[in-house]
């Protein structure tokens, strides 16, 4: 993301912006200036514009005529819809994974939770946020659905926006214990238990939202993406 001689592709720009949103480095309402982003990514404004259009399709960016792009600011109603969608999508993925999970899959899940615990012990906020969302994306990956993987990836990123806007400032993300409970059910092939554990987990995250919360201050793009 620094000023290198290489030219970033549209997908690279999209993915780096997506990650910055998912890790809560880009706050809701942050203005995304094409010219500045083109310089940061050593790319053209046309490519930046294409990347922003892809992110708008995923409802992570809002493009306003004559003003440019902004990181989306989900409403309370949208926040509820996102959690509703996640319950449906992740429930189906868990049912499939409980049937198909291999020993290697379980090792991957346990390794991921170990990384979550390590990040929590070290107080590494960026890793905590990344790994917390990454657990859910890993379930989609292991369940073998490329389409639902992409759907959930965007839902997880939008959840980060929602948590940034409406979540308590002292809480960075859910801990790994609830994730471990889900994995224990997968290991037992207990689809009903895994679903209950995931529903409880998502409800716990949603219940922490402060519905009177507002937008947090934004920061300089170079500081966020450099």
For the chain, what percent of residues have pLDDT higher than 70?
A: 87
CA separation for the pair 116, 119 (Å, rounded): 5
Q: What is the pLDDT of residue 214?
A: 47
Domain-wise residue ranges, the chain: 10-73, 76-207
155-210 per-position pLDDT tens digit: 998 888 888 788 765 555 667 999 999 999 999 999 999 999 999 999 998 888 87
226 pLDDT above the threshold of 90: no
149 pLDDT above the threshold of 70: yes
5 pLDDT above the threshold of 50: no
Give the total residue count for the chain. Answer: 226
191-205 per-position pLDDT tens digit: 999 999 999 999 998
Q: What is the pLDDT of residue 167?
A: 77
Residue 110, C-beta contacts closer than 8 angstroms, at least 6 positions apart: 183
Distances (CA, A) of 211 to 12, 164, 173, 196, 225: 34, 12, 17, 25, 29
49-88 per-position pLDDT tens digit: 999 999 998 888 999 988 889 999 989 899 999 999 999 9
Q: Which fold has domain 10-73?
A: Arc Repressor Mutant, subunit A (1.10.10)
Better-scored residue on pLDDT, 172 or 149: 149
Cβ atoms within 10 Å, residue 118: 14
Better-scored residue on pLDDT, 220 or 97: 97
Supply the pTM of this predicted model: 0.75
Better-scored residue on pLDDT, 169 or 144: 144
Angle at 60 between CA 23 and CA 33, to 5 degrees: 90
Residue 176, C-beta contacts closer than 8 angstroms, at least 6 positions apart: 113, 116, 117, 120, 135
Burial class for 80, CB neighbours closer than 10 Å (0-12, 13-18, 19+): middle
CATH classification code of 76-207? 1.20.120.530
CA separation for the pair 182, 123 (Å, rounded): 23
Q: What is the pLDDT of residue 178?
A: 95
Better-scored residue on pLDDT, 170 or 139: 139
């Amino acid at each position: 993301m620094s000023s290198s001689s290489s030219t970033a592709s549209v997908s690279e720009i999209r993915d780096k912006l997506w990650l910055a949103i998912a890790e809560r480095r880009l706050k809701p309402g942050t203005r995304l200036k094409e010219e500045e982003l083109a310089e940061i990514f050593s790319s053209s404004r046309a490519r930046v514009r294409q990347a922003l259009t892809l992110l708008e399709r995923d409802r992570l960016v809002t493009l306003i005529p004559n003003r440019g792009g902004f990181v989306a600011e989900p409403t309370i109603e949208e926040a509820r819809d996102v959690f509703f969608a996640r319950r449906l999508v992740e429930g189906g993925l868990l049912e499939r994974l409980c049937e198909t999970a291999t020993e290697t899959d379980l090792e991957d899940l346990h390794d991921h939770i170990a990384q979550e615990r390590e990040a929590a012990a070290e107080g590494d906020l960026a890793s905590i946020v990344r790994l917390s969302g990454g657990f859910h994306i890993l379930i989609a990956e292991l369940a073998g659905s490329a389409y639902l993987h992409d759907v959930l990836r965007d839902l997880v990123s939008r959840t980060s926006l929602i948590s940034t806007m409406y979540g308590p400032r002292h809480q960075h993300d859910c801990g790994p214990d609830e994730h471990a409970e889900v994995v224990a059910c997968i290991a037992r092939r207990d689809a009903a238990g895994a679903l209950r554990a995931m529903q409880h987990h998502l409800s716990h995250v949603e219940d922490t939202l402060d519905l009177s919360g507002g937008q947090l201050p934004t920061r300089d793009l170079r500081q966020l993406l450099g």
